[in-house]
Structure 1
C-alpha cells in the first residue's frame, strides 16, 4: 500500500483521528515538493496565527456567534438576554459577534468531543462600550440596568464541520492525485515540477482558501489556455492573459528560447514558475500567483514540446 492509498484509506475512516491523516499528508507534501500544501498541513496540525499574517481557510470562519448578556440593576436585580448587531458600528462586529477557529486539529477534536459549546467572554472594554451605546440609544437596553458580562458561543456542530472539511479536503486531494499520478508521495515520485501535479495542488488550495490575492484562483478563460509546440506568439499571448507584464514576458521568452538544451530549459522554466509563485515576478489583473505559476509551467512545457 503506497502513501496515497494510506491517506485515502485513513481519510475515509471516521474513527481515525484527522491528525494522523494530516501527518501522512505532510510526508506526501514534502515528497511532491509542494510548499503550499506543506504550509497548509503544518497550520492544521499546529494551529493558525491569531492575526492577519496568514489567511485562514474558508471553512475555519470567521463564524457568526450568538451572544447572550447578563444585566444588573437596582436592588440586585439581574436578567439575561440575547444581544444583537443592530446599531453596532462595523469595526466592532468581528470582536463582538464573530470568531474564527484557529486551534490545532487535536484541540478542535477535543472541543468537538466535549460536553459544552466553546466560546469567549467579552472583554471589560467591550462591555463598557456597549453600555455607552445604550446610553446613546444606539442599541436596545433594559431600563435601569447595565450590561455586566456577555458570552459569545460557537455551537459544537460548527467545530465538527471544520474537522470534516479538513478530512474531506485531504481525501479529495489524495484521490485527485491518485487518478493521474498514483506514485505521487512516493520517494522519487512526481513533484509539482510536473504541470499536472501543480494543477491538482492549485485546485486543492483554491478549495481550501477560496479566491483571493494569496491563494490560487482562476477563471474559465485562464484554465483553458493552451500553446502549440514552438508557438512563441501564442505563448506570449497566453502569458499576457495570465498577467505577466512586458518585462516578465521577455524573461519567459529568454527562458524557453535561449541556447540551453531541452532539460536545462525545463529546469529554468520551473525556476521561473517558482519565482512567479513566490511573488518575485509582478502580475497584473485578477489572476493570483499560484494559478499563474501553474499555468506558466504548463504552457512553457507545451511550447517546449511536452
Structure 2
C-alpha cells in the first residue's frame, strides 16, 4: 500500500493516532520536496517553538475567574471576569492563548474532556482595582474550554484528509510513493503544486508580512492570478499602476530559481522605485515594500 493510502486509511479510523499519521505525512512531504509542508508536519508532531507562527486553529479563547477580599472580612470568590475587561487593562494577547504543544499532547488533553487551567497570576497586578473597586484581587485563573482543545484535534485531522485528497487529484504520482518507490523525477513544478495545495488546505492561502512598526500586512493571493496580486498589492499600499507593473513583470519572468527569489527585471524595478517608497509617495516604506513584493511573488508562483 502506498504511503498516501496508509495515511487516508489511518485518518478515517475512530480516534486516529495523529502523531503516527504525521510521521508518515512527513515522509511523504520529503519525497514530494515541499519544505512548507514538511515544516508544518514537524511542528504539529513535535510542537511549535516560540519563534514559529501559530496557525489560527491553534489559538483558543480563554475565560477568567478570580477571588477578591474586601473590608470587614468580606470577599468575592470564583467570580467571572469579563474578557473585555482583561483586553482593556491587559491586552488581547491574554484572551487568545496559543497552544504550542505537539498534537499528541493535545489529543491527550482532549481525551480528558475537562477544561484546562492556565496560570494567569500576572494579571493580578494588571487588574488590581479594575474589577471591583475597594476590593483586593487575590487570585485569577484562566481556563480553556475542552471543546476548543477537541476542535484542534478535529481540525488537524480534517486538514490532513483534505490535503491527501487534493494531492491525489492534482498530483496523481503521489499515490505511487511507497517506502521503496519514489517519484521518478522530483520536478520543481511538483513541489510548487504540493506547496500550493498545502497553503490552500491548511492556511487558506493567506500570508502575513510584518511591517517595521509591527503592523501586519495580509496577502491573500491566488497562485497564477494576476488580478488578485494587483488587488492585494494595492490594498497593502502600492499605487494601482505600480501594482500592475510589478505583477506583469513577475508573471513574465516565471518562478524563482534556487539562488534568487525574484528575477532580474523585478529586482531592477524595485531598485528603481525604492526612492518613491522612501519619500512617502507610496503608503508603504521601502524596506517593507521589498519584503512585501517577494512574498507576493512567492504567493503568485504558488510557493508559499
- 2:286 is matched with none
- 2:221 is matched with 218
- Aligned-pair distance for 1:32? 0.5
Show CA shifts across 1:81-122 (max 9, x none): 111144556582234322111110111011001152113121
- 2:49 is matched with 49
| SS of residue in 2 equivalent to 1:54 | coil
1:30 matched to 2:33: no
| SS of residue in 2 equivalent to 1:213 | strand
Structure 2 distance, partners of 1:184, 1:12, is: 19
Aligned with 1:140 (options 131, 141, 149): 131
| Shift in alpha-carbon separation, 1:271–1:179, aligned structure 2, 3 A | same
| SS of residue in 2 equivalent to 1:127 | helix
Aligned with 2:79 (options 62, 78, 81): 81
- Aligned-pair distance for 1:17? 0.7
- 1:97 is matched with 95
- 1:126 is matched with 123
Q: How does 1:61-76 map to 2 (within 5 A)?
A: 61=59, 63-73=60-70, 74-75=72-73
Q: How does 1:262-281 map to 2 (within 5 A)?
A: 270-271=257-258, 275=261
| Shift in alpha-carbon separation, 1:80–1:90, aligned structure 2, 3 A | closer
| SS of residue in 2 equivalent to 1:70 | strand
Q: Which has the higher contact order (CA 8 A, sep 6+)?
A: 1
Higher strand share: 2
Structure 1 distance, partners of 2:171, 2:227, is: 21
| Shift in alpha-carbon separation, 1:72–1:55, aligned structure 2, 3 A | same
Structure 1 distance, partners of 2:261, 2:294, is: 18
- 1:263 is matched with none
- Aligned-pair distance for 1:169? 1.2
Structure 1 distance, partners of 2:293, 2:140, is: 44
Asked whether the 8 Å contact 1:217–1:287 carries over to 2, the reply is no
Aligned with 1:294 (options 278, 290, 302): 302
Structure 2 distance, partners of 1:2, 1:76, is: 68
Aligned with 1:165 (options 138, 150, 155): 155
| SS of residue in 1 equivalent to 2:174 | coil
| SS of residue in 1 equivalent to 2:66 | strand
| Shift in alpha-carbon separation, 1:168–1:190, aligned structure 2, 3 A | farther
The TM-score with structure 1 as length reference comes to 0.69
Structure 2 distance, partners of 1:26, 1:111, is: 23
| Shift in alpha-carbon separation, 1:151–1:100, aligned structure 2, 3 A | same
**Gap regions ≥5 residues in structure 2:** 210-217, 229-242, 268-289
Asked whether the 8 Å contact 1:44–1:105 carries over to 2, the reply is yes
| SS of residue in 2 equivalent to 1:40 | helix
Structure 1 distance, partners of 2:187, 2:155, is: 24
Structure 1 distance, partners of 2:201, 2:7, is: 18
- Aligned-pair distance for 1:205? 1.9
| Shift in alpha-carbon separation, 1:275–1:241, aligned structure 2, 3 A | closer
Show CA shifts across 1:236-291 (max 9, x none): x99932774xxx97xx4xxx8xxxxxxxxxxx96536x745xxxx75655963542
Cα RMSD (Å)? 3.6
| Shift in alpha-carbon separation, 1:79–1:111, aligned structure 2, 3 A | same
| SS of residue in 2 equivalent to 1:288 | helix
| Shift in alpha-carbon separation, 1:144–1:92, aligned structure 2, 3 A | closer
| Shift in alpha-carbon separation, 1:243–1:157, aligned structure 2, 3 A | farther
The TM-score with structure 2 as length reference comes to 0.69
- 1:179 is matched with 169
| SS of residue in 1 equivalent to 2:77 | strand
Structure 2 distance, partners of 1:54, 1:118, is: 23
